[in-house]
Amino acid sequence: MKKTTSIIAMIVVFALIGVSAARAQQTSQQPETKTFVSISAGGQFGSQTFSSSTSFPLYGETATTATNQAVGGGFVFDASGAYRVWRNLAVGIGIWTFNGSGTAAGVASIPDPLQTGHPITINATASDLKQTDVGVNFQAVWIQPVTDKIDVAFFGGPTLIHVSQDVATMTIASNAQTATMTTSSQSGTTGKAGNVGVDASYKLTERYRAGVFIRYAGGSINLPIVGDLTVGGAQLGGGVRIRF
C-alpha cells in the first residue's frame, strides 16, 4: 500500500510540474487536432509477492505446506487512442501487455508414520514462473500545450486486466514422506483496477511526435489458489505519438 501511494504521489508531482510549466508559458491554447494515437514500449518496475499454504491430517498428525512466490518487473507494450470532445478534454481507450517472471520457494512438513513428533522437512524452489497481463485502460485525458512544440497530457480512469499466472505449490505424495513442487497456470479478469499518469510529447512534424509516459496501472484479483493477488504497477515507457 505504501508503494502504491508513493507511485501515485510521484505522478501527481509530475502533473503539478506540467501544470506549472503550462502556466509559465501563459498559454490556454487548445490542441490543434482531434484524434490522438500513442504507441509505446517500456517496462513495469518493482516486484509483487504472494504466498499460499495448506494443512491436512496425516498419520494422526498434521502435514503442512507453504509457498512464497515473487513476480519481478518486465516488458510493457502500450497502444492507445483518444478523441478530443471539448476544449482540452479528450476521452480515450488503450490496451497494454505485460510479460514478467519470478521465482518461488516452498517447504513441506510431513509427519513420520512410525514416530509421533518427528516430521521431516522438504524444501523446493522453482524459477521462470511467468505472469502475462493484458490491460484495457478507459481514460479521461486533459491535453495541455506547454509550448508550440511540447504538450503534456494528464490521464486517469478505470482499468480491466486479464491475468495469466504460473502458480507454484508444494504437493505431498499420498502415504509417503515425499513432496514435490508443482506449477499450474491460473487466469482470471479483474475490474478492481485503475490507471493514472502523465504523458509528455515533443513535436517532430505536423503529424508525428516523440513521447514518454509514467503511470500507475494496476489492481488486485482473486485466482483459484491465490487470493487478492496484486497485478500491474508503476510503468514507464516511450514511443511515437500520432495526431490527425
Query: Which domain, by its residues, includes 200?
Result: 2-49+73-100+129-166+182-243
Residue 66 inside a domain? The answer is: no
- Do the Cβ atoms of 139 and 158 come closer than 8 Å? no
**Structural domain count of the chain:** 1
Residue 88 inside a domain? The answer is: yes
In the chain, helix, strand, coil percent, each to 5? 10, 70, 20
pLDDT at 11 over 50: yes
Decide: helix, strand or coil at residue 175: coil
Question: 26-78, pLDDT tens digit by residue?
Answer: 445 888 899 999 999 999 999 999 999 999 999 999 999 999 999 999 999 99
Give residue 98's Cα distance to chain centre: 7
User: What residues pair up with 8 in beta bridges, in sequence order?
Assistant: none
Instruction: Please choose, from the candidates 90, 205, 93, 197, the residue with its C-alpha nearest in 3D space to the C-alpha of residue 149.
Output: 205
pLDDT at 241 over 60: yes
Question: 188-237, pLDDT tens digit by residue?
Answer: 999 999 999 999 999 999 999 999 999 999 999 999 989 899 999 999 99
Whichever domain contains 14, its CATH number is 2.40.160.20
Residue 176 inside a domain? The answer is: no
pLDDT at 138 over 80: yes
Decide: helix, strand or coil at residue 19: helix
Residue 123 inside a domain? The answer is: no
Q: Which of the four pLDDT bands, split at 50, 70 and 90, describes residue 25?
A: very low
Residue 150 inside a domain? The answer is: yes
Residue 215 inside a domain? The answer is: yes
Residue 110 inside a domain? The answer is: no
Residue 151 inside a domain? The answer is: yes
Decide: helix, strand or coil at residue 244: coil
